Chains A and B, each alone.
Chain A
């Protein structure tokens, strides 16, 4: 038996909105640790790892580890039927072939049950080793989204370079080139407006903007995004989910032939 009650149901709605276009179907894993997911896009260029820790749920019952295969557009469609202030409860029976999403309005005057069919998904679970990154950039998530959107009007790829000058996002396309440099700016009034760059050594990597733009759909989940870069490793774009966990996107770099 599985029963997970999330007071801030909008978090789950936002999570689904941020991954449904990147990943078609995925297994959601539930254990004592929490509710998690690891999935790649169909071309195996990007990977998403989600963790919502059990402590973040108002009620968390998971009698045995369970893996539930879901088509993400269908799950997103059902969650769209929940109000932004609704409490969402995920329920499933051991060995069952359905999952139920229950939506409760804040004053309990409306309770809805949506039952969705589960599917069997053969997914490959990848081991993500702990890595030392050459550079870690923390910046406002809205600023990062804006940069990715602006650059994708010019080109298809972004070169992210971190030097002691700051972090530079560059692209080029048929009509011209664009460079956006963000300097460390830790002395702002609000901590969420700060740009903080931890650089062990300079690093420069090239990525497909299409994927970066897709990751920025997680912007409503967090004010700050953390971008971890190391040569020869996928970039990690992380959005922390308030008190609960994270959504991390890994993107394989483009490699010079």
Chain B
């Protein structure tokens, strides 16, 4: 099954 990605692994904190 595909694993749900996480927004924070794409966009970094500023």
Chain A residues in the interface with B (C-beta under 8 A):
40, 44-47, 124-129, 157, 206, 208, 232-234, 250, 252-257
User: Are B14 and A125 touching (Cβ within 8 A)?
Assistant: yes
Supply 7 A–B pairs (Cβ within 8 Å), ascending by A.
A44-B6, A44-B7, A126-B12, A129-B11, A157-B2, A256-B2, A256-B3
- Residues of A within 8 Å of B3, CB to CB, are 254-257
Kindly state the separation between the CA atoms of A126 and B4 in the bound complex, as whole angstroms.
19
User: Are B14 and A257 touching (Cβ within 8 A)?
Assistant: no
Find the A residue at minimum CB distance from B13: A124
Kindly state the separation between the CA atoms of A250 and B7 in the bound complex, as whole angstroms.
8
Kindly state the separation between the CA atoms of A30 and B6 in the bound complex, as whole angstroms.
27
User: Are B13 and A206 touching (Cβ within 8 A)?
Assistant: no
Q: How many A-B residue pairs have CB under 8 A?
A: 59
User: Are A208 and B12 touching (Cβ within 8 A)?
Assistant: no
Nearest CB on B from A42, distance (A): 12
Nearest CB on B from A128, distance (A): 5
Kindly state the separation between the CA atoms of A150 and B9 in the bound complex, as whole angstroms.
30
- Residues of B within 8 Å of A233, CB to CB, are 10
Nearest CB on A from B12, distance (A): 6
Which bucket holds chain B's interface residue count? 10 to 19
- Residues of B within 8 Å of A254, CB to CB, are 2-5
User: Are B2 and A127 touching (Cβ within 8 A)?
Assistant: no
Nearest CB on A from B10, distance (A): 5
User: Are A128 and B11 touching (Cβ within 8 A)?
Assistant: yes
Kindly state the separation between the CA atoms of A256 and B4 in the bound complex, as whole angstroms.
9
Kindly state the separation between the CA atoms of A124 and B6 in the bound complex, as whole angstroms.
14
Contact of B8 among A44, A232, A255, A257 (CB under 8 A): A44
User: Are B13 and A257 touching (Cβ within 8 A)?
Assistant: no
- Residues of A within 8 Å of B7, CB to CB, are 40, 44-47, 126, 234, 250, 252
- Residues of A within 8 Å of B5, CB to CB, are 45, 234, 252-255
- Residues of B within 8 Å of A206, CB to CB, are 2
- Residues of A within 8 Å of B12, CB to CB, are 126-127
Interface centre among B5, B6, B8, B13 (most CB of A within 10 A): B5
- Residues of A within 8 Å of B6, CB to CB, are 44-45, 252
User: Are A45 and B14 touching (Cβ within 8 A)?
Assistant: no
Nearest CB on A from B6, distance (A): 5
- Residues of A within 8 Å of B11, CB to CB, are 47, 126-129, 234, 250
Kindly state the separation between the CA atoms of A232 and B2 in the bound complex, as whole angstroms.
14
